Amino acid sequence: METHHISTSSKTLFNKVRKIVPPLLERFHKGTSIAGNMDVLHYTGAPYFSSMASAKLGCDMSHVICERSASPVIKSYSPNLMVHPILPSSDSVKNPDSIDAPALAGPIIAMLSRLHALVIGPGLGRDSVTLKVVNEVMKEARSRSIPFILDADGLLLVAEDPNLVKGYKECILTPNVNEFGRLAKALGIDLPSPAPAQPTSGSSTDDNDNRQTEACRKLALALGGVTIIQKGAHDVISNGVASIISDIPGGLKRSGGQGDTLTGSLGTLLAWRAAYHNGLWDSGENDAPTTEAQSQQEVRAELETENRRMSPATTLLLVAWGGSAITRECSRRAFKAKGRSMQASDLTEEVHGSFLTLVGEPDGSKVHL
Q: Does the annotation flag 179 for ligand binding?
A: yes
Closest CA to 174 of 156, 148, 151, 147: 151
Q: Does the annotation flag 313 for ligand binding?
A: no
Q: Does the annotation flag 254 for ligand binding?
A: yes
d(CA 147, CA 273): 10
Q: Does the annotation flag 137 for ligand binding?
A: no
Q: Does the annotation flag 257 for ligand binding?
A: yes
For residues 59 and 267, the answer to whether their CB atoms sit within 8 Å is yes
Written as one letter, the residue type at 140 is E
d(CA 273, CA 75): 29
Q: Does the annotation flag 132 for ligand binding?
A: no
Q: Does the annotation flag 232 for ligand binding?
A: yes
Q: Does the annotation flag 217 for ligand binding?
A: no
Q: Does the annotation flag 285 for ligand binding?
A: no
Q: Does the annotation flag 252 for ligand binding?
A: yes
Beta strands in the chain (DSSP E): 36-39, 63-67, 82-87, 117-120, 148-150, 171-173, 227-230, 236-238, 243-245
Q: Does the annotation flag 231 for ligand binding?
A: yes
3 state DSSP class of 79: coil
Q: Does the annotation flag 253 for ligand binding?
A: yes
Q: Does the annotation flag 31 for ligand binding?
A: no
Q: Does the annotation flag 368 for ligand binding?
A: no
User: What does R_g of the chain's alpha carbons equal in angstroms?
Assistant: 20
Closest CA to 331 of 247, 238, 250: 250
Q: Does the annotation flag 106 for ligand binding?
A: no
CA distances from 204 to 6, 197, 291, 322 (A): 22, 5, 38, 26
Return the H-helix or E-strand segment holding 334: helix 312-338
Q: Does the annotation flag 25 for ligand binding?
A: no
Q: Does the annotation flag 267 for ligand binding?
A: no
Q: Does the annotation flag 212 for ligand binding?
A: no
Q: Does the annotation flag 75 for ligand binding?
A: no
For residues 92 and 67, the answer to whether their CB atoms sit within 8 Å is yes
Residue 72 CB: number of other CB atoms within 10 A?
Answer: 11
d(CA 142, CA 148): 8
Q: Does the annotation flag 39 for ligand binding?
A: no
Q: Does the annotation flag 153 for ligand binding?
A: no
d(CA 256, CA 234): 17
For residues 350 and 56, the answer to whether their CB atoms sit within 8 Å is no
Q: Does the annotation flag 125 for ligand binding?
A: no
Q: Does the annotation flag 322 for ligand binding?
A: no
Q: Does the annotation flag 353 for ligand binding?
A: no
Sheet of 243-245: strands edge to edge?
82-87, 63-67, 36-39, 117-120, 148-150, 171-173, 227-230, 236-238, 243-245
Mark the binding-site residues for (6S)-NADPHX, compressed into ranges.
Answer: 123, 176-182, 260
List residues forming the annotated binding site: 123, 176-182, 231-235, 250-260
Feature table: binding site for ATP: 231-235, 250-259
